[in-house]
Amino acid sequence: MKYVISLSFLFIYLFVTPQESPTLFLWPDREDTSTESEPSILPDRGDGVIRLTNVTNPSLTVFEAPENKKNGVAVIVSPGGGFKHLCINKEGSEIAEWLNELGVTAFLLEYRVPDKRDLAARDIQRAMRLVRSTANEWGINPDKLGVIGFSAGGNLSAQVSGIPKNLYEPTDAADTISCIPNFAMLIYPGGMGNANSRALPENVSFGAGSPPMFIYATADDGIANYGSLNVAEALLELKIPVELHMIPEGGHGYGMRANYSAARVWPELAEKWLYKYILTNQN
């Protein structure tokens, strides 16, 4: 599989990824970016979050687990940002580095923004297939590929964890491979319902083939609290293993930042869940 590091984006990755991290562009007919506008970083809000927008050529940045820890498990990381931008460090590279410590190889997804929800859904389907098709290159097991998503990225992760229809015409052999993850982690997923709507959105349709799921939110998070309950209830009815955690306070959008109490709770719970369902009996 061809992978490149775009020098024009180097200033971004100096801040959010190891400099040597390879990048996989999702769509082969878009790898020549000469006619595409480049991603841009929104003005700093003083919170240490890098917000990437104007993504027109979606990609995966590869964070390989250290060889002495690598266990063959991989996760696609889908950051949030309300489909307006991507919180590329707080809900992206920082999450990938945590996964690396667990021996998990991470693929940080840059899906198309802003306001390209349908295209972003295609991007995450393609990302799952592309990683599985190149599994040997990264020393991972294609049957141990999961997804973790935050806010809008959690919405996309839920979509691809359903029994989705193909959202695009096949482009190459990778598109013959399943796009459904083997496990999923939704961290304060957005757009999955609210107090007035206890139904899942039309583009989320779980079925018997949906994977085990870990869900985390806080009760005071009006973006994700009822939606998280909706997802858990749907999986429960299908008898799909689901672990839901909801603590009283924490709000929304904290990632793993230590200054938020909610951010200190979920990584430990998620790690225990991963060991229960994924990180044991490695092949």
Closest C-alpha to 65, from 32, 95, 33, 104: 104
3-state secondary structure of 198: coil
**E strand or H helix at 16, and its extent?**
helix 10-16
Looking at residue 20, what is its pLDDT?
Answer: 72
Percent over 90 (pLDDT), the chain:
82
Both tokens assigned to 60? 């995966």
Is pLDDT above 70 for 181?
yes
Both tokens assigned to 280? 């044991």
Assigned CATH topology for domain 7-277: Rossmann fold (3.40.50)
Closest C-alpha to 192, from 222, 230, 248, 146: 230
Q: What is the mean pLDDT of residues 54-72?
A: 97
pLDDT interval class at 186 (50, 70, 90): very high
Upstream peptide bond of 43 is cis (omega within 30 degrees of 0)? no
**E strand or H helix at 128, and its extent?**
helix 117-133
Give the whole-angstrom CA distance, residue 210 versus residue 216: 18
Higher pLDDT, 187 or 33: 187
The rounded Cα 236 to chain-centroid distance in angstroms is: 22
Q: What is the mean pLDDT of residues 193-207?
A: 89
Give the whole-angstrom CA distance, residue 194 versus residue 196: 5
Residue range 117-136, pLDDT digits in tens: 999 999 999 999 999 999 99
| Helix-then-strand count for the chain, H and E | 7, 11
Percent over 70 (pLDDT), the chain:
90
Kindly report the CA angle at 141 between 140 and 142, in degrees rounded to 5?
110
Tokens 């790690």, residue located: 271
Give me the chain's average pLDDT, please. Answer: 90
Higher pLDDT, 129 or 260: 129
Looking at residue 220, what is its pLDDT?
Answer: 96
Residue range 5-25, pLDDT digits in tens: 333 343 444 445 555 789 999
Task: Give the count of alpha carbons within 13 A of 166, CB side only.
Answer: 10
Task: Give the count of alpha carbons within 13 A of 280, CB side only.
Answer: 7
Residue range 21-59, pLDDT digits in tens: 899 999 987 644 444 678 999 999 999 999 999 999 999
Looking at residue 255, what is its pLDDT?
Answer: 98
Q: Return left, alpha or beta for 29; rule: phi > 0 is left, psi -120 to 50 is alpha, else beta.
A: alpha
Both tokens assigned to 122? 């295609």
